[in-house]
Amino acid sequence: MLSAFSGLANSAFSGSSSGMMAPAPDSSGSSCACKGVRRCLVCEQIKGKCHSEPSDPEVVHHFLYDPDTRLAVCNDAEAVSFPFPGVFLWENFISEAEEKALISSMDQDVWNQSQSGRRKQDFGPKVNFKKRKVRVGGFTGLPALSQKLVLRMQQEPNLSGFQPVEQCNLDYHPQRGSAIDPHLDDSWLWGERLVTINMLSNTTLTMSLEQGLPELGFGGEVQVAVHLPRRSLVVLYDEARHRWKHAIHREDVHERRVCSTYRELSTEFLPGGQQAELGALLLNMALSFQGTPI
């Protein structure tokens, strides 16, 4: 076993409806949900929008995360390797049969269009992060198939006491140019650990620090590639959760990829916190494991 991951959490109230059968998993569709600077292949090829990659910084230092040593290692043998805290990877967290059952169950529900060529299914409260408001909305809990997975997670010391209150399923496909931009997840509602199960294909999670690491002599942007094997579980916590942004780049999505990200509550919503009563309500609903996508 070994380490880290997520989803963008800075939008307004999130959520959608559930019900009928989803479209074919590999279908690129003829519409998208991209707004502002967001882009996908539907925008670029069907809507005629131009693909405008942000200009690369003048200097980027590239490293690879080594889960055995938990170091960020550079291909240049003379470059300094450094400890990379806050990433935990658990390879083969689920079996091939479990993966098949999970994907089959997800594909019975609607996949809603999301930004940057992704599709999503939300199991969680509706949240306005800008106004810091939480509504129960149509939230009925996490899906039934997640119950045994959460119990398995809790057996790992790094996930001791982990009680997810939200699950977000994301569907990536190269035909849609799926990606997720570098970001930090919200820390007002969501707690210390972000947990993701990576399914259907391998990918790379890119961690980045735009301001560099001047204490190590890296003045430009620093990027650390974390390879995520198929059927692995990855956790982000500590500096990897709060200091380093994380992203999935378009070029790192080679086949259909589905991930499930689980989030726990922050201390404000736990016993003793200002919103402990609301937190208890959300947890009781989430851990009933009777949910459908909203």
Distance of alpha carbon 34 from alpha carbon 22, whole angstroms: 20
Distance of alpha carbon 262 from alpha carbon 6, whole angstroms: 8
Range of the domain at 271: 60-286
In a domain? residue 129 = yes
Q: What CATH number is given to the structural domain containing 127? A: 2.60.120.590
- pLDDT of the residue at 144: 97
Q: Which candidate, 12, 7, 1, places its Cα nearest to that of 184?
A: 7
Q: pTM, whole model, 2 decimals?
A: 0.86
Structure-token match 């509550």, residue found: 265
Distance of alpha carbon 244 from alpha carbon 225, whole angstroms: 12
- Total Cβ atoms within 10 A of residue 128: 13
- pLDDT of the residue at 26: 44
Q: Which candidate, 107, 131, 140, places its Cα nearest to that of 24?
A: 107
Distance of alpha carbon 275 from alpha carbon 135, whole angstroms: 13
Distance of alpha carbon 155 from alpha carbon 115, whole angstroms: 34
In a domain? residue 28 = no
Q: Is 113 exposed, middle or buried (0-12, 13-18, 19+ CB in 10 A)?
A: middle
In a domain? residue 80 = yes
- pLDDT of the residue at 42: 76
- pLDDT of the residue at 28: 42
Residue type at 44 in one-letter notation: E
Distance of alpha carbon 204 from alpha carbon 188, whole angstroms: 27
Distance of alpha carbon 144 from alpha carbon 121, whole angstroms: 14
In a domain? residue 25 = no
* Number of separate domains in the chain: 1
Q: Which candidate, 65, 25, 5, places its Cα nearest to that of 198?
A: 5
- Total Cβ atoms within 10 A of residue 49: 14
In a domain? residue 276 = yes
- pLDDT of the residue at 78: 66
Residue type at 150 in one-letter notation: V
Distance of alpha carbon 174 from alpha carbon 172, whole angstroms: 7
In a domain? residue 250 = yes
One pLDDT digit (tens) per residue for the chain, 294 residues:
443 333 333 333 344 333 333 333 444 445 788 877 667 887 777 666 555 455 555 789 999 999 999 999 997 766 789 999 999 999 999 999 999 999 999 999 999 999 999 999 999 999 999 999 999 989 999 999 999 999 999 999 999 999 999 999 999 999 999 999 999 999 999 999 999 999 999 999 999 999 999 998 888 999 999 999 999 999 999 999 999 999 999 999 999 999 999 999 999 999 999 999 999 999 999 999 999 998
In a domain? residue 53 = no
What Rg, from alpha-carbon coordinates, does the chain have? Answer: 19
- pLDDT of the residue at 18: 34
**What would the DSSP string read from start to end of 137-204?**
TT---S-GGGHHHHHHHTTSGGGTT--EEEEEEEEE-GGGT--EEEE---SSSEEEEEEEEEESS-EE
In a domain? residue 111 = yes
